Amino acid sequence: MTAQNLQVEKAGGEAGALYEAFKINAGMVSARVDRAPDSIGAALKIKEIIERTGAAKVVAAPSPLVDSLQLADLWAADTGPDLHLRDLRLHAPDAGVGISAFDLAIVETGTLVQDATNLDCRLVSMLPPVHVALVPTDRIVPTLRDALELYGRDLDGLPPYLAFVTGPSRTADIERVLTIGVHGPAELHIIFIDRPGGEAV
């Protein structure tokens, strides 16, 4: 499914209100939500996350949104982390940060939605301890029904592998003791980008 199929038309004010509501709901499930005016701003936020975590290896699933960040240009050749965009089955297991783009964000549950048919998307979002998810700000929808209706407009139907991500990985034992990061990332950072390609929201 292409980005054009999932375009959500909203005025700037409505997009801002949806963002604020999503930020509250995602924060309740321990996701960290931020917003950047463009791809350059998003790349700088990602740089801060990588430097804070001290990650020596970073993996990113290629996509138009991820490619627009030009992450390799953020560091001098001898100072930055090892950045991998290929052979992710090999590099994701020991990477410190994984980066991927998502199709939609659902306000009511603070959930991200992604066509994860491509294995690379799943590897970078599940194996590194820190996951950075990128979403265009104009692709925030109020409800799960809205999200499914958008996917349903595609003539090919729903993607074979549709992923829903709500907060970092969490699990609980029989005594209901909640533990974060056991079966996936311990940190989820969501960065909304207002103008990924320079277009106005």
For residue 115, what pLDDT is reported? 93
Coil, strand or helix: which one is 37? Answer: strand
132-172 pLDDT, tens per residue?
Answer: 999 999 999 999 999 999 988 876 777 889 999 998 855 54
- The residues, any chain, with a CB within 8 Å of residue 144's CB and separated by 6 or more, are 106, 108, 109, 111
10-residue stretch averages of pLDDT, the chain, 201 residues long: 51 77 94 96 96 95 95 83 95 96 96 94 94 96 93 79 83 48 75 75 38
Q: Are 116 and 165 in contact (CB under 8 A)?
A: no
Structure tokens at 151: 């996917």
Residue 97 neighbours by CB under 8 Å, 6+ apart: 49, 50, 53, 55, 58, 59, 81, 128, 130, 131, 132
pLDDT of residue 54: 94
pLDDT per residue as tens digits for the range 103-113 = 999 999 999 99
Domains and CATH numbers, the chain: 12-195 (3.40.50.10420)
pTM: 0.86
Q: What is the pLDDT of residue 26?
A: 95
